[in-house]
Amino acid sequence: MSAPAVRVRFAPSPTGMFHVGGARSALYNWAVARQSGGTFVLRIEDTDAARNKPEWIDGIVNALSAIGINESDPAFEGPYFQSHNADRHREAAGQLRAAGKAYFCDCTREQVQERTGSQQLGYDGFCRERGLDWEAGRAMRFRTPDEGETVVVDLIRGEPAFPNSAIEDFVIARGDGTPVFLLANVVDDLDEGVTQVIRGEEHLSNTPKQQLLWEALGAQPPVWAHLPVIVNEKRQKLSKRRDKVALEDYLAEGFLPEAMVNYLMLLGWAPGDDREILPFEELQQLFRVENVNSSSAFFDIKKLTAFNGDYIRALGAEQFAAACAPWLAAPHAPWQPEAFDAAVFEKVAPLAQTRIAVLSEITAQVDFLFLDEPVADEASWAKAMKAGAAELLRDVRAVLATAAWTAEDLKTVLEKVGAEHGLKLGKAQAPIRVAVTGRTVGLPLFESMELLGRDRVLARLDAAAERLAA
């Protein structure tokens, strides 16, 4: 008998921005589905009506699309909505009770604590044999086996065993009759034919309970795989309260989707050689969930930024211009729309492309070309405008007034005037660069001056000289 077709699922809750940890889980599931010719099921777990918002659902679908998980792909199925399956959840709860595997309970937390003498949560099975029928306020509990253990076969963590005696008779339906997430999750996976559950390790503690429910419903549990937690530089779990964790934020800052995908795929897994910069199509074929490391994965923003820089430098000229376009227009650009000159940007783009690591940096690289006056960086001004800077500016300005206007000619002028002041070219450039561009670092100075034109360069040298004289 052939093995069933692989069906994995990604089941986010629409309660906020799309977490990078969720993006990694989605990508791992997507890779498994695509490489096996299987199916990736998107299920929106939207039963928490108080926290769910329609825009978060759109955000999930859009974020998945941004990282290449598209509804139009044959491997994609859904989205399904957990809230649409409520009747089936209730039916499963009734099935368990009819089979003697669940019962009603009217105990309060205080009553349990009084009986057990413990403040620790943990039900003592008091209502197991009371034969209560449903009434408002009575929860339904699963009857956990008293003996033995539940062994979870996990592709990443081996076969952790959980003594059944340590698993309380847990609630599967609330006092108002609505099934809890634990049961709904299992029923949905069962009905959707899920064969592998690949998710974050924070769900591992619930897995023995879910496995017991699968078995009690007469079904073979899926293959489990619990991914390592993602941590920050302090080895703390990534938290939206202190860390930047939303995929949307990284994309909005100018991280390329392809770079994000590449980096996220390597958070806990490696292709087995020294290569790191790989397209998803190749990563997808190489990925094996059983080779994911169980240790926590460090989200290194510096490394992600370096990845992104590599991807930016690999773009073709037209691709780079298109990628930069959102940052060259309002509201990102600091210049007036009519001031932007696409022909000038086309000339300077190859120079800028090698100098930025995220697309949002492009405006600081080229703003001096499209503003009436450069944005002055005060630290750069203080560093460059030392004693003798005013005289250097004056003498350079005098020669530039009649010099030939090519990058090579401009370099020759500055070398000559700098030498007259006892300065090598590197030292002579600093005050000129700050006067012309506003910063000590940036695009090549002489190519920038050539593009700016004689009148604008001379005006900026004059303005810098006036400031020094004030």
Give me the pLDDT at residue 120, please.
63
What single string gives the DSSP state of each residue in 255-299? Answer: --HHHHHHHHHTSS---SSS-----HHHHHHH--GGGS-SS-EE-
Q: Cite the annotated binding site by residue number.
A: 105, 107, 127, 129, 240
For the chain, the distance separating the N- and C-terminal CA atoms, rounded to the nearest angstrom, is: 89
Angstrom distance (rounded) from CA 40 to CA 78? 9
Q: How far is CA 61 from CA 11, 15, 79, 96, 381, in A?
A: 12, 13, 9, 34, 47
Fill in the DSSP letter of residue 78.
E
Residue 121 in tokens: 């949560």
Q: Which residue has the tokens 């609330």?
A: 174
Q: Is the peptide bond before 271 cis (omega within 30 degrees of 0)?
A: no
Q: Cite the annotated binding site for Zn(2+) by residue number.
A: 105, 107, 127, 129
Domain boundaries 378-469, corresponding CATH code = 1.10.10.350
Angstrom distance (rounded) from CA 246 to CA 20? 6
Phi, psi of 86 (to 5 degrees): -60, -40
Give me the pLDDT at residue 201, please.
95
Angstrom distance (rounded) from CA 165 to CA 175? 25
Residue 151 in tokens: 């062994």
Per the CB < 8 A criterion, the answer to whether 309 and 357 are in contact is yes
Per the CB < 8 A criterion, the answer to whether 313 and 338 are in contact is no
Per the CB < 8 A criterion, the answer to whether 340 and 328 are in contact is yes
Q: Which residue has the tokens 């959707």?
A: 192
Task: Report the interhelical angle of 425-437 vs 454-469 (nearest 10°).
Answer: 100
Specify burial of residue 27 (Cβ count, 10 A radius: 0-12, 13-18, 19+): buried
Give me the pLDDT at residue 119, please.
63
Report the DSSP pairing between strands 223-227 and 196-200: parallel
Positions marked active-site: 240
Q: How open is the CA angle 37-42-43, to the nearest 5 degrees?
A: 140
Give me the pLDDT at residue 121, please.
62
What single string gives the DSSP state of each residue in 27-45? Answer: HHHHHHHHHHT-EEEEEE-
Q: How far is CA 417 from CA 213, 399, 441, in A?
A: 83, 8, 21
H or E, element range at 7? strand 7-10
Residue 274: partners with Cβ closer than 8 Å, 6 or more residues away: none
Can you give the pLDDT of all 470 residues of the chain as single tens digits?
Answer: 556 799 999 999 988 889 999 999 999 999 999 999 999 999 999 887 777 778 888 999 999 999 999 999 999 999 999 999 999 999 999 999 999 999 999 998 888 888 877 666 678 889 999 989 888 889 999 999 999 999 999 999 999 999 999 999 999 999 998 999 999 999 999 999 999 999 999 999 999 999 999 999 999 999 999 999 999 999 999 988 888 999 999 999 999 999 999 999 999 999 988 899 999 999 999 999 999 999 999 999 999 999 999 999 999 999 999 999 999 998 999 999 999 999 999 999 999 999 999 999 999 999 999 999 999 899 999 999 999 999 999 999 999 999 999 999 999 999 999 999 999 999 999 999 999 999 999 999 999 999 999 999 999 999 999 999 98
Q: How far is CA 335 from CA 342, 367, 441, in A?
A: 13, 7, 20
Specify burial of residue 340 (Cβ count, 10 A radius: 0-12, 13-18, 19+): middle
Per the CB < 8 A criterion, the answer to whether 227 and 28 are in contact is yes
Per the CB < 8 A criterion, the answer to whether 70 and 157 are in contact is no
Fill in the DSSP letter of residue 147.
S
Q: What does the chain come to in residues?
A: 470
Angstrom distance (rounded) from CA 18 to CA 245? 8
Q: Where are the beta strands (DSSP E) in 152-253?
A: 161-163, 171-173, 196-200, 223-227, 230-231
Q: Closest by alpha carbon to 263, among 238, 243, 283, 281?
A: 283
Residue 54 in tokens: 């329609």
Per the CB < 8 A criterion, the answer to whether 184 and 20 are in contact is no
Domain layout of the chain by residue ranges = 315-362, 378-469
H or E, element range at 430? helix 425-437
Q: Cite the annotated binding site for ATP by residue number.
A: 240
